[in-house]
């Protein structure tokens, strides 16, 4: 397993007023797997993604990536690990407004010792794959939401990380831009064999992944594997499971 999380607990608050959001989660992600995390609003999806991606610290439990437990790393080492091994896509794109699209995408390469030519090659390859080559010299304010999210996907993949973490990557997109992005994510996942862990409240988005893990009351409630199912059948199963799960489904937020 590329990522193995065991008995993850996370609480917020102080000793007088504590909320336990994650109550003992076990989760694994194989090399090249594309997994979705679903669950009602407030069920802890973002919290789980943040601890699995080292953005936030667990209260207890261990997370291994390539057999290496990063929960015990000190901040500086953790930051280095995050920059080299992980890629991130957020709902709100998180592009830097004062940098061009190309500069934004190339940011993760600045920590690598890499020739200019190599960096240019990497940029050309990934921007072509995401269909945004012609936007290189534009600024974030000059492109659409769909283009912005494909830019942030390019930035997530350019340094060839082991895992991409995506929190509601289609949450701010219209349905056409959303499915364009998901198809690109699916292609990159297959072609580059980069593992993807995506939080989503949207059954359509989840139907692009190989497996869906459902959270409820701080625990893994159940999971669904696509296997040989058609995407449509898989989508229906995801909807059915969501219904059984109940709770308030996330509105687009
Ligand atoms: N930094 C925080 N401090 C206190 N409570 C938090 C914090 N982040 C999240 N929570 C609480 O944890 C629960 C799960 O939140 P979250 O992980 O954002 O859920 P989801 O992404 O599934 O909507 C919510 O009840 C939320 O209010
Ligand atoms: Mg969330």
pLDDT (tens digit, 9 = 90+) per residue, 9-53? 999 998 899 999 999 999 999 999 999 999 999 999 999 999 999
**What dihedral do alpha carbons 195, 199, 141, 143 form, nearest 10°?**
60
Q: How far apart are CA 228 and CA 205, in angstroms?
A: 18
Does 215 reside within a domain?
Answer: yes
- Distance (angstroms) between ligand 2 centre and the Cα of 112 equals 31
Residue span of the structural domain in which 141 resides: 32-50+83-245
Answer whether residue 5 is part of any domain: no
Residue 69 included in any domain:
no
Q: Tens digit of pLDDT for each residue in 143-192?
A: 999 999 999 999 999 999 999 999 999 999 999 999 999 999 999 999 99
Residue 77 forms part of a structural domain: no
Specify the residue with its C-alpha closest to ligand 1, atom 7. 12
**CATH number, position 102:** 3.40.50.300
Domain total of the chain = 1
Asked if residue 133 is part of any domain, the answer here is: yes
* Each residue's pLDDT tens digit, 73-124: 888 888 888 999 999 999 999 999 999 999 999 999 987 778 899 999 999 9
Q: Residue 249's pLDDT is what?
A: 54
Dist. CA 71–CA 33, nearest whole Å: 22
Residue 15 lies in a domain: no
Cβ neighbours of residue 208 closer than 8 Å, sequence gap 6 or more: 34, 182, 183, 185, 186, 231
Quick check: is 2 in a domain?
no
Residue-wise pLDDT for 203-247, tens only, equals 999 999 999 999 999 999 999 999 999 999 999 999 999 998 875
Residue 182 lies in a domain: yes
CB 184, CB 153: distance < 8 Å:
yes
> Residues near ligand 1 with C-beta < 6 Å?
12, 21, 39, 41-47
């Amino acid at each position: 397993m590329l990522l193995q999380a065991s008995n993850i607990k996370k609480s917020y608050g102080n000793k007088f007023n504590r909320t336990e959001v994650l109550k003992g989660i076990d989760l694994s992600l194989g090399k090249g797997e594309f997994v979705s995390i679903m669950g009602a609003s407030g069920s802890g999806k973002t919290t789980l993604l943040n601890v699995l991606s080292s953005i936030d610290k667990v209260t207890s439990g261990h997370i291994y990536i390539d057999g290496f437990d990063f929960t015990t790393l000190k901040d500086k080492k953790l930051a280095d690990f995050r920059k080299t091994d992980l890629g991130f896509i957020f709902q709100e794109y998180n592009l830097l407004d004062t940098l061009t699209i190309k500069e934004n995408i190339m940011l993760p390469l600045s920590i690598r010792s890499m020739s200019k030519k190599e960096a240019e090659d990497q940029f050309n390859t990934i921007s072509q794959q995401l269909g945004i080559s012609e936007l290189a010299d534009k600024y974030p304010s000059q492109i659409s939401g769909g283009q912005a999210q494909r830019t942030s996907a390019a930035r997530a993949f350019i340094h060839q990380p082991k895992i991409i973490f995506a929190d509601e990557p289609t949450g701010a997109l219209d349905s056409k831009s959303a499915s364009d992005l998901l198809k690109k994510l699916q292609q990159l996942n297959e072609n580059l064999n980069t593992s993807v862990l995506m939080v989503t409240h949207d059954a359509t988005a989840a139907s692009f992944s190989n497996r869906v893990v459902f959270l409820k009351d701080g625990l893994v409630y159940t999971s669904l594997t696509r296997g040989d199912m058609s995407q449509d059948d898989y989508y229906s199963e995801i909807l059915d499971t969501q219904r059984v799960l109940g709770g308030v489904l996330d509105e687009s937020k």
